[in-house]
Structure 1
Amino acid sequence: MQDSQSSSSLTMIVLCVCVFLLPACFSHPLAGWVSSPGHPGGYEPHSEMMWERCAPAGHILTLSIIHLDLEESYQCENDAVKVFADSLLLKTLCGSMSTEQLQSRVNPSLHSSPGGCLSLTFEADFSNTERHTGFRAFYTVQDVDECWHSDLKCSHFCQNYIGGYSCSCKPGYHLSEDRHTCIVNCTEERFGSGVLTPPGSPGPYYENAHCSYTLTVDEGEQLILSFIGEFDVESRDGRCVDSLTIKTDSATFGPFCGQEAPAPINTAARRIKVLFRTDQGGTNQGFSLSYNTKLMECPGIVTANSILSPQKRVYTKGDTVTVQCVTGYSVDSATKKTFESTCLRSGKWSPVYSCELVDCGIPEIKEPDLIALTEEDPLTTYKQNISFRCLSEHYKLHGHDSFTCNASGQWETIEHLLSPQVDLPRCIPVCGMNKQPFSAGRVFGGEDAKLGQIPWQLLTKQPNRGGASLISDRWAITAAHVVVGQETKTLMFYGGMIDGLDQNAVKMETEKIIIHPGYKVENPHQTNYDNDIALVRMSARVPLSTNIMPVCLPEKSNGPVMEAKLGTVSGFGGTSKNPLRSRYLQYGHVKEYSEVPCFDTTLKVTDNMFCAGGDEGVDTCKGDSGGPLIIPVLGRGSQETPYRLKGIVSWGPAECGDKNFKGYYTKVENYLDWIRETMETN
């Protein structure tokens, strides 16, 4: 027993001497014994214990079991000793094993990770059939050789020391911030002429090189670069592994690699940077870059998308050129096409302006509620096209619908038929179209019209009851005698209905009432209906629909006004049931009569009037004045032959419906110029 204690003390002294360099702050012993309770005299039933130690950084903790004598049981379920490394179970032991068995089968696996911990537990159950001595083990703290076992490898040299390791580099290298990689940081500034080679030359250039050379010459001079001798910069599969790049303030040359030397470079700069980057391996030989000086030259281009005049091979200090933007480009988006620029001593042109693509811009649309661009965000630069569309089916495009941006920054028609400054198209109401239900109604004594059948028919009730025809979305036309004396007043017109009492009718207030200047009123009684025509401008755009739409104006004709066709006249005037007025819109078919006069009258009949009437008493009556007479006859209109306004109900005999007498109508085609001019100027 005394020999065993002496041996243990001696071992501890030797270990302490071997590890005296470990940090003093490590609080546990660096070596020692651990054994079961009562060892070697034997452990009692229900014995248990726990032991744990941790290694300092850069060290591991090892455990060597030199004696094991426990109760043998299935899967060590009775008495057992368990060893853990960082809470991970390494071994569960029971029974008896010799020293040789322990040394070969168990002890090699009983160690912690670097800086990790070992723990041990022992538990005995309630009884043993014979007495067992237990176990005894010896633990030590050992240094780790990171140079062999660490994943953090040094790129050049590794030096191990107790508790850690360090990296070092070959001459010409230094450690990067990661303290493992050896790099070359070859930053250098040079002036004048010379030859530049990479670090390590002659011979293979250094790995992990991050070289940045700044080359500078006097103002008024520029650097000329050429590669001399061998050029060998690592590449793989056509891609640069290592690279050489040359940069000026305005240009970049490279990256260069491989074995074919780049062509000479006229840098057009007095200051350049040469950047050389390499990876961690390779035995390539590098390059030799000769840099020399020559007088500064200005480049053969001042700005993109332009041409110079005069054209010269070389431009030097003091040369002045005229810079002209190519077709479709202008100076800074303006209409200016040229500017002058002078070559400076620095090798730069001054002044320099950009030649930018001409942009015609989005044209201003005056009626955005009616017309819009076909595309929401179209391209508007040189040679780009735009087109327009109407937003409502009740309008059609008038004028050219497609335009091209020309070189002057103006929109022009694709056909180039008009001058570059072209008026934009307009959306004008579709005229002369209706719903087509048809019946043989009559005005005086006739039947009711259907809704949408005569959508241009308007009605005014005060102060004089009369009709009118819508001829655009802002204008109506009527007889002058219906609105005479009301020119300074606001009247109300109704449309989009067939019932004169319809509360849902479209209401239109007048903004202007313009009576033909040739219409004369002779007091006390009207004796002349010549020029019985007036235009009415509404205060707001009329909301067009299938129930309210304009009628087309007529075309001039050389023959009969109604072109020997039947026409249709309509209105809310007197009927056979009520000679004063009708609640519902009536219509009837009439034809033109060439006999003059249509009835015995003292009133003057002029060429601005024509006579029309129908068979069996079809006629207009009081309250129909100002209403429309259209051709073709109602029910025969189409896209090809829209309904046109040929006449305005003007005057007739005192008694309505006499088949022997006809009525007079204002001949609308005589007033087309006045109508269009009045609408355009008002």
Structure 2
Amino acid sequence: MKPFLSVVCANLRGSNAKRRQDKQTNKREVNAGQPVFIKSHHDRSLVFADSLLLKTLCGSMSTEQLQSRVNPSLHSSPGGCLSLTFEADFSNTERHTGFRAFYTVQDVDECWHSDLKCSHFCQNYIGGYSCSCKPGYHLSEDRHTCIVNCTEERFGSGVLTPPGSPGPYYENAHCSYTLTVDEGEQLILSFIGEFDVESRDGRCVDSLTIKTDSATFGPFCGQEAPAPINTAARRIKVLFRTDQGGTNQGFSLSYNTKLMECPGIVTANSILSPQKRVYTKGDTVTVQCVTGYSVDSATKKTFESTCLRSGKWSPVYSCELVDCGIPEIKEPDLIALTEEDPLTTYKQNISFRCLSEHYKLHGHDSFTCNASGQWETIEHLLSPQVDLPRCIPVCGMNKQTFSAGRVFGGEDAKLGQIPWQLLTKQPNRGGASLISDRWAITAAHVVVGQETKTLMFYGGMIDSLDQNAVKMETEKIIIHPGYKVENPYQTNYDNDIALVKMSARVPLSTNIMPVCLPEKSNGPVMEGKLGTVSGFGGTSENPLRSRYLQYGHVKEYSEVPCFDTTLKVTDNMFCAGGDEGVDTCKGDAGGPLVIPLLGRGSPETPYRLKGIVSWGPAKCGDTNFKGYYTKVENYLDWIRETMETN
């Protein structure tokens, strides 16, 4: 079988176009003319619209049959193609006449058939269509939608109504009216008559909005007219927006003029003096910021402002919320704010914390920003010089407790058991007690003559040869002014006390911590308690020195002399010793005597430095003789004053 293909594609339009207001499209038609005589079952004619098969024809049909059954369906889509395929084989036993087809091109009425609707009117023409609008409207950029663009400028007084008034206002309206009056005057707006702007479920479908340079009124809609508006402006914009439907009646806006008035507020967060109902040109007021606010974040609370002809105040300054700022922290490595970025304005609170567990906060920890821009506690204002909280070392705590031993002939101390014990080796071997992270206390005779030199102290260890010991260089050595050296052999130990300031802060840990200073007492120095004395001095095995830290328990002897001596004994000394030869010896001088007994300290009962190893009999460990200790509580004022001033 050989196919014969005929394709009909046309873009022509006929002249018998009809005009309607609905959109139409173009179509092409093929009409069969003469009867079809295709007898063979193997011969046929196929008609396609684009790729869609419309009809398969064979056999014999009259013109009337074609017109009624076939032709009505033989048309293309708008702008499309019709194709005709004829197929015949070689088995014809008789001659057939075939067929005859005619094709035409017809114009389509877009106004009738198209989905693109014109808002108002549609005009069809050969080859296309166009939209047009009712009077008062014009086509938008999409060439289909009719809109109202009612931009207008007015001066003075009058009445403003929406486009289409009287009667329903126009749809698709985008109105912008500019109303202006002379300088020194302001516009007063009031709605008169009916107010009817479309709304639905409490929301504006259409809207009326009034704007000045400094305020916006609206949007308004519904059927309740807004209250009169004193715009306080000589130039305003009235914006009216509508959608595509509705039959609402709109509004009548009366606009009139009056002398310009200044508003009853100059700046936020302030009050005016004098108070008046109306302020006009030339009025001058005192503006006072309310509590907690100040002028431009400064300490100034008031300023004067004058009402100008334009209805504006001048000058105008802001009343800003008072900000106390972040206090300057002098030791940021020890103390910090509890919050990293706290609020610091009026009535806000800040608090402090120590960065190390080995320190505790001294002073007020919480402050509130007051209306004057200063931090204060419940009791008083914060003064950076004296009232900022400080982190001071935790004192009188040790790592753990163990059973008692002896200094002369005693047992070794454990690491962290006596963390305030210090040792100096040159030029004189002696002990000291750490009393803060910068200061130590010792006997004057240990450091006398070294005031202008730099000594080395060791701490945080129990082995005097420990290479990992904390090393501390001295910055200042301050001997009590009452200490006197009467001869080279030291015949007077009165005021045998000295303070040593280290050149850098001592790194506190569980192995090196300060001991607490004592409290003044009216009775016995040791309060009738057993105490503990420690040092790296002589032992029974080595009367000159001990490699390891030793300690022993002693008690106070107040009624009998420690031993017979020609040296002067004063009220700045007290006698103490232990049983079975427990005693201090050469090399222990300057070391601590603390209460309570080692192993019985607690946060409620910290270890306190009651005595400093000072002097004793020539022979150590004699059960009949005891040693003398400097009475630390007699020097508390001198200690604190010296530390504060140095």
Given the two structures, how large is their TM-score scaled by the length of structure 2? 0.88
Counterpart secondary structure, 1:467: strand
Counterpart secondary structure, 1:190: strand
Shift of the 198–467 alpha-carbon distance from structure 1 to 2, 3 Å rule, reads same
**Corresponding residue for residue 32 of structure 2:** 57
Contact conserved, 2:459 with 2:470, CA < 8 A, in 1?
A: yes
Shift of the 436–77 alpha-carbon distance from structure 1 to 2, 3 Å rule, reads farther
Contact conserved, 2:28 with 2:78, CA < 8 A, in 1?
A: no
In structure 2, how many angstroms separate the alpha carbons of the residues matched to 1:434 and 1:577? 28
Shift of the 261–647 alpha-carbon distance from structure 1 to 2, 3 Å rule, reads same
Shift of the 311–567 alpha-carbon distance from structure 1 to 2, 3 Å rule, reads same
Per-residue deviation, 1:329: 0.8
Counterpart secondary structure, 1:368: coil
Contact conserved, 1:57 with 1:114, CA < 8 A, in 2?
A: no
Per-residue deviation, 1:481: 1.6
Q: Alpha-carbon deviations, 1:105-134, whole Å to 9, x = none?
A: 776666555444556667789989999888
Contact conserved, 1:561 with 1:610, CA < 8 A, in 2?
A: yes
Shift of the 291–617 alpha-carbon distance from structure 1 to 2, 3 Å rule, reads same
What is the total number of aligned residue pairs between the two structures? 619
Q: Alpha-carbon deviations, 1:78-128, whole Å to 9, x = none?
A: 988776666667778888888777777776666555444556667789989
Q: Alpha-carbon deviations, 1:586-631, whole Å to 9, x = none?
A: 1000011114641122222221111111111101111111111000
Q: Alpha-carbon deviations, 1:369-399, whole Å to 9, x = none?
A: 2212112222111111111111211111111
Counterpart secondary structure, 1:615: coil
Aligned partner (choices 228, 238, 246) of residue 274 of structure 1: 238
Contact conserved, 2:30 with 2:104, CA < 8 A, in 1?
A: no
In structure 1, how many angstroms separate the alpha carbons of the residues matched to 2:399 and 2:41? 102
Contact conserved, 2:32 with 2:100, CA < 8 A, in 1?
A: no
Matched ranges for 1:418-429 at <5 A? 423-429=387-393
Counterpart secondary structure, 2:446: helix
Counterpart secondary structure, 1:670: helix
Shift of the 530–95 alpha-carbon distance from structure 1 to 2, 3 Å rule, reads farther
Per-residue deviation, 1:525: 1.9
Per-residue deviation, 1:417: 8.3
Contact conserved, 1:444 with 1:657, CA < 8 A, in 2?
A: yes
Shift of the 623–166 alpha-carbon distance from structure 1 to 2, 3 Å rule, reads same
Q: Alpha-carbon deviations, 1:467-486, whole Å to 9, x = none?
A: 11111111111112222222
Q: Alpha-carbon deviations, 1:418-459, whole Å to 9, x = none?
A: 789972211111111112231121111001111111111111
Contact conserved, 2:29 with 2:103, CA < 8 A, in 1?
A: no
After the TM superposition, which of the residue ranges 344-353 and 101-110 deviates more from structure 2?
101-110
After the TM superposition, which of the residue ranges 296-305 and 116-125 deviates more from structure 2?
116-125
In structure 2, how many angstroms separate the alpha carbons of the residues matched to 1:601 and 1:488? 33
In structure 1, how many angstroms separate the alpha carbons of the residues matched to 2:365 and 2:23? 113
Contact conserved, 2:284 with 2:307, CA < 8 A, in 1?
A: yes
Shift of the 528–306 alpha-carbon distance from structure 1 to 2, 3 Å rule, reads same
Shift of the 148–53 alpha-carbon distance from structure 1 to 2, 3 Å rule, reads closer
Per-residue deviation, 1:527: 1.5
Counterpart secondary structure, 1:158: strand
In structure 1, how many angstroms separate the alpha carbons of the residues matched to 2:71 and 2:275? 90
Shift of the 390–81 alpha-carbon distance from structure 1 to 2, 3 Å rule, reads farther
Counterpart secondary structure, 1:677: helix
Shift of the 215–422 alpha-carbon distance from structure 1 to 2, 3 Å rule, reads farther
In structure 2, how many angstroms separate the alpha carbons of the residues matched to 1:519 and 1:627? 18
Shift of the 212–642 alpha-carbon distance from structure 1 to 2, 3 Å rule, reads same
Per-residue deviation, 1:343: 0.5
Shift of the 136–528 alpha-carbon distance from structure 1 to 2, 3 Å rule, reads farther
Q: Alpha-carbon deviations, 1:133-180, whole Å to 9, x = none?
A: 887765544433222222221111111222322111111111111111
In structure 2, how many angstroms separate the alpha carbons of the residues matched to 1:448 and 1:303? 76
Contact conserved, 1:592 with 1:610, CA < 8 A, in 2?
A: yes
Q: Alpha-carbon deviations, 1:287-308, whole Å to 9, x = none?
A: 1111111111111111111111
In structure 2, how many angstroms separate the alpha carbons of the residues matched to 1:353 and 1:57? 91
Which runs of no fewer than 5 residues in structure 2 stay unpaired?
1-20, 34-38
Per-residue deviation, 1:76: 15
**Corresponding residue for residue 22 of structure 2:** 3
Question: Is 1:81 matched up with 2:45?
Answer: yes
Shift of the 566–100 alpha-carbon distance from structure 1 to 2, 3 Å rule, reads farther
In structure 1, how many angstroms separate the alpha carbons of the residues matched to 2:94 and 2:558? 150
In structure 1, how many angstroms separate the alpha carbons of the residues matched to 2:571 and 2:32? 121
Per-residue deviation, 1:637: 0.5
Shift of the 131–671 alpha-carbon distance from structure 1 to 2, 3 Å rule, reads farther
Q: Alpha-carbon deviations, 1:303-362, whole Å to 9, x = none?
A: 111111001111110000001111111111111111100000011100011111111112
Shift of the 421–232 alpha-carbon distance from structure 1 to 2, 3 Å rule, reads farther
Shift of the 599–322 alpha-carbon distance from structure 1 to 2, 3 Å rule, reads same
Shift of the 275–618 alpha-carbon distance from structure 1 to 2, 3 Å rule, reads same
Q: Alpha-carbon deviations, 1:499-552, whole Å to 9, x = none?
A: 111222222222222222222223322111122111122222222111111111
Question: Is 1:668 matched up with 2:632?
Answer: yes
Per-residue deviation, 1:219: 0.7
Counterpart secondary structure, 1:3: coil
Shift of the 228–660 alpha-carbon distance from structure 1 to 2, 3 Å rule, reads same
**Corresponding residue for residue 8 of structure 1:** none
Per-residue deviation, 1:415: 5.3
Shift of the 3–266 alpha-carbon distance from structure 1 to 2, 3 Å rule, reads closer
Contact conserved, 1:581 with 1:623, CA < 8 A, in 2?
A: yes
Contact conserved, 2:441 with 2:500, CA < 8 A, in 1?
A: yes
Counterpart secondary structure, 2:561: coil
